[in-house]
Structure formats: structure tokens, C-alpha cells
Amino acid sequence: MEVLQILIDQMVTDISNEASRLDEVRLRMFLKWLQAHAGKGKEVQRVQFKIALHDQGSVDEHFKQDLKRWFNSLPIPELLWEYHLILNEISWWRRLDQRLLCMILVAISRKKND
């Protein structure tokens, strides 16, 4: 297996493991961010990130395959930057205070109703 593919596989595993530690609401919010983020910039590879939680919080294979496909479309410097950014985003959602999370959800709900 090519070294780059091994690296991407490990990155996907790391991100999947960290994402699976989020509760359902935070995970859904993270995925909305990831979908919007991955769609920005160049028309390299549009990826739909879909996820289903399985027993013990593991993420499904569709998410992992979508992430691999996206990562494979990126140049190495951008790949490394995205990996770091995504792990930081997951960490941000995990640390987000419950009160602030509720405020975000209320704001999103109000915006949808406008």
C-alpha cells in the first residue's frame, strides 16, 4: 500500500474515532460544518458526508469512504491542513458549553423560521 494511502487511512481513523465521541447533537452540528467546509473553495471533489451511529458510537463506513475520497482529492499540504482543522473542529464541539450549544440551536431554529 502506498505511503500516502496509509497516511490517509490513519487520518480517517483518527477523525472517525474522535467524531464518534461526540453526542448526537454535536455530531450533527459538526457534520453540517464539515459539509459546508468541504464544499468551499475549488471544485475539486464535492463530497456528501452522511453518517449513522452504530453501537458504541462508531461511525459508519460511508462517512469513512466519503472522507477518504475527499482527502485523496487534496494536495498533500492541504490534506495535512484539513486534517488538523477537522480535529480542532471536533474538539471545539466537544468542549462547547451546553448553554452555548443551546443558544446556537435556538439561533439556527429561528433563522430557519424567518
- Long-range contacts, 99-106 (Cβ 8 Å, 24+): 101/25, 101/26, 101/29, 104/29, 105/25
Instruction: Give the residue among 87, 78, 101 at the shortest CA–CA distance from 34.
Output: 87
One-letter amino acid for residue 69 of the chain:
R
Q: Number of folded domains in the chain?
A: 1
What is the model's pLDDT at position 91?
Answer: 98
Model confidence pTM above 0.85: no
Q: Which residues in the chain come in under a pLDDT of 70? A: 1, 40-59
What is the model's pLDDT at position 5?
Answer: 96
What is the model's pLDDT at position 23?
Answer: 93
On whether the CB atoms of residues 10 and 26 are closer than 8 A, the answer is no
- d(C-alpha 57, C-alpha 16), whole Å: 10
- Domain membership of residue 69 as a residue range: 3-113
